[in-house]
Chains A and B, each alone.
Chain A
Amino acid sequence: MLGIVRRNVGGAGGLYSQGFGRLRPVASAIRNYSSGGKEMTVRDALNSALDEEMAADPNVFVMGEEVGEYQGAYKITKGLLDKYGPERVLDTPITEAGFAGIGVGSAYHGLKPVIEFMTFNFSMQAIDHVINSAAKSNYMSAGQINVPIVFRGPNGPAAGVGAQHSQCYGAWYGSVPGLKVLVPYSSEDARGLLKAAIRDPDPVVFLENELLYGESFPVSAEALDSSFCLPIGKAKIEREGKDITITAFSKMVGYALKAAEILEKDGINAEVINLRSIRPLDRATINASVRKTNRLVTVEEGFPQHGIGAEICASVIEDSFGYLDAPVERVAGADVPTPYAANLERMAFPQIEDIVRAAKRACYRSVPMAASA
């Protein structure tokens, strides 16, 4: 079986000694910290990242609905208009297709736009510009036109906002070559990844989460420095474990960590991976983890078909089939447009208990079901 494995996915341990220290699976210490007890909300993390990048590079500007005078529909761009003026913080009329197109055009010329969609659900009205222009121009122009643009905004469900405000677009944008797709969870993720996205010469789709904006996380002194940047395409092991791997991104990382605490009490030691990046997907980290634990649960809020979990499952089967002791469990949102009624909405998205049960299913089977036939 081991002979089938061609690619060397080793060195997993080395990828995470980036100075953030090993994590202990203790209740509130599921965040990384090296020094200091400073906490920061994701909202402030994003705001400070935008502020610092705008200060460092005069070509960076922000554009979107209500980003200026209103301080941002979710206050992410608070204070930026006062500090940088209307030439660099542009309030737009209600035309997603318009300002996405204008952003792409300005990026062709060498500016660095940060385009805000009030929710990625509204990016549907501009998706042609994101995909057919931003993603593909560098390739189609044989490298002559690069597009250093960032599209950011809340993605996925919030609370009680119905079908047209709750879809997760990770899988849609994640399938397009030419785009980079990032999914921050903590405040450090938000700071490091947004800064990296703005500095990156390629188009980046930056998927935030409305419910995480107000959540506070500890931030290290290193993360507070204005030169701080996280690498694009590297996942983070939020919690080390040896019995099962749980992959998640954005809000689901928090849920996965809580599920891991519950599993710990039942003697299951779970490793939680915060993907941080959907494209490029950190297949190396995921596969190394599965080779260690032999079991995998993928978690996402989006629809199951053609979702992130489907891709991770395929990647693991291609690279680490021999290491799996149980079928991969996919935990995803229900295959229905999101209902509004609170009781139905709760059933439409993964809850912590769903992750716990999926992990247990993966742990109590030692042989894949088909093999026992």
Chain B
Amino acid sequence: MYSLYREPGVLLWRGFTMQEFANQCFGNNIGHGKGRQMPIHYGSKKLNYITISSPLATQLPQAVGMAYSLKMDKKDACVVAFFGDGTTSEGDFHAALNFAAVMDAPVVFICRNNGWAISTQVTEQFRSDGVVVKGQAYGIPSIRVDGNDALAVYNVVRSARETAINEQRPILIEAMTYRVSHHSTSDDSTKYRSKDVIEYWNTVHSPITRLRNWVERKGWWSDKEESELRIHTMKQVKHAIDEAEKEEMPLLRDMFTDVYDDLPSNLMEQETLVRETIQRHPKDFPKDMPL
């Protein structure tokens, strides 16, 4: 799994717990991340989910490389790489697709085309007919799907995975959707688009609403169960956040470990020096520093 930063849902599905998400965001001591990475830059070796890296598209050639190694090992597996419409402008995207095609690497590229890259609309990002034609141009079987239709996406991805593994070749999926939220918590997207448009997509085309309607019509869900689930999940999230906040911050040693495989002598010296300094000048440092 090579993700960008809008795929915590994938990780949740795989088994990352609410508590683990909260620990990562708070950067506390018990999170897998040892307080190293920014919030939403999750990772889990256990769940085969590569730790998120910020620069865009760099994960794509890496995904191809990993797929190639799966191919050499003849594994019954493929790599999935997620990215957005904006990322397809980066040079690494083109290198990755070209290589995947030439090397017959079993990788499924999934592009979430949600129309926006911060404030840049797709018409200012590229002039091609979306991203699906780019896959075709590189010789990769590509398909466009309604990203807000959960069943369609499920079918497409299942089929793509089968093809990628059985035929040992890359597939590109362009899932069309719309970004109803702001780019991030530092953005206010009402500055560059109208509230009505956001509202329209959030109600009429919401993939959650559409799936819910379908499930309810089948008699498998009801309003009562919906509200119960919402209340339960809210409690779960709040509990995870409260617990994460209480936890200790990472230990000083974790600043020096994992720079290399083994802790080199110069970093051991630095750590010793830091500890001595904290002991000799305690008033220069915060009191609650976990050592």
Say whether, besides A98-B91, A162-B36, A335 and B124 are in contact (CB < 8 Å). no
Contacts of A96 in B (CB 8 A): 90
In the complex, the answer to whether B120 meets A346 with C-beta atoms within 8 Å is no
B118 at interface (Cβ–Cβ under 8 A)?
yes
Contacts of A95 in B (CB 8 A): 89-91
In the complex, the answer to whether A347 meets B89 with C-beta atoms within 8 Å is no
In the complex, the answer to whether A93 meets B89 with C-beta atoms within 8 Å is yes
Partner of B38, one of A65, A70, A124, A340: A340
Q: How far is the CA of A344 from the CA of B284 in the complex (A)?
A: 15
A164 at interface (Cβ–Cβ under 8 A)?
yes
Q: How far is the CA of A66 from the CA of B274 in the complex (A)?
A: 41
A91 at interface (Cβ–Cβ under 8 A)?
yes
Q: How far is the CA of A143 from the CA of B259 in the complex (A)?
A: 44
Interface residues on B, range: 35 or more
Say whether, besides A93-B86, A335-B266, A342-B249, A162 and B38 are in contact (CB < 8 Å). yes
Contacts of A57 in B (CB 8 A): none
In the complex, the answer to whether B86 meets A124 with C-beta atoms within 8 Å is no
In the complex, the answer to whether A340 meets B36 with C-beta atoms within 8 Å is yes
Question: Which A residues, 319 to 373, have Cβ-Cβ distances below 8 Å to chain B?
Answer: 334-337, 339-344, 346-348, 351, 353-354, 357
Say whether, besides A125-B55, A162-B41, A353-B284, A343 and B289 are in contact (CB < 8 Å). yes
Stretch at the interface among B104-112, B135-143, B250-258: B250-258
In the complex, the answer to whether B120 meets A91 with C-beta atoms within 8 Å is yes
* Chain A contact residue count (CB 8 A cutoff): 39
Q: How far is the CA of A97 from the CA of B90 in the complex (A)?
A: 8
Partner of B118, one of A70, A339, A344: A70
Task: Please encode chain B, from 273 to 285, with 1 for each CB lying within 8 Å of some chain A CB and 0 for all others.
Answer: 0100100010011
B66, chain A: closest CB distance, angstroms: 20
In the complex, the answer to whether A98 meets B252 with C-beta atoms within 8 Å is no
Say whether, besides A69-B119, A162-B54, A164-B53, A344 and B255 are in contact (CB < 8 Å). yes
Say whether, besides A65-B120, A335-B266, A353-B281, A341 and B125 are in contact (CB < 8 Å). no
In the complex, the answer to whether B277 meets A357 with C-beta atoms within 8 Å is yes
In the complex, the answer to whether A341 meets B192 with C-beta atoms within 8 Å is no
In the complex, the answer to whether B55 meets A122 with C-beta atoms within 8 Å is yes
Contacts of A347 in B (CB 8 A): 252, 255, 274
Contacts of A357 in B (CB 8 A): 277, 281, 284
In the complex, the answer to whether A66 meets B119 with C-beta atoms within 8 Å is yes
In the complex, the answer to whether B27 meets A342 with C-beta atoms within 8 Å is yes
Say whether, besides A162-B41, A339-B35, A343-B289, A334 and B91 are in contact (CB < 8 Å). no
23 contacts between A and B (CB under 8 A): A65-B120, A66-B118, A66-B119, A69-B120, A70-B192, A93-B125, A94-B56, A125-B90, A125-B92, A160-B38, A161-B38, A162-B54, A163-B36, A335-B267, A336-B259, A340-B35, A341-B249, A342-B27, A343-B35, A343-B289, A344-B249, A353-B281, A357-B284
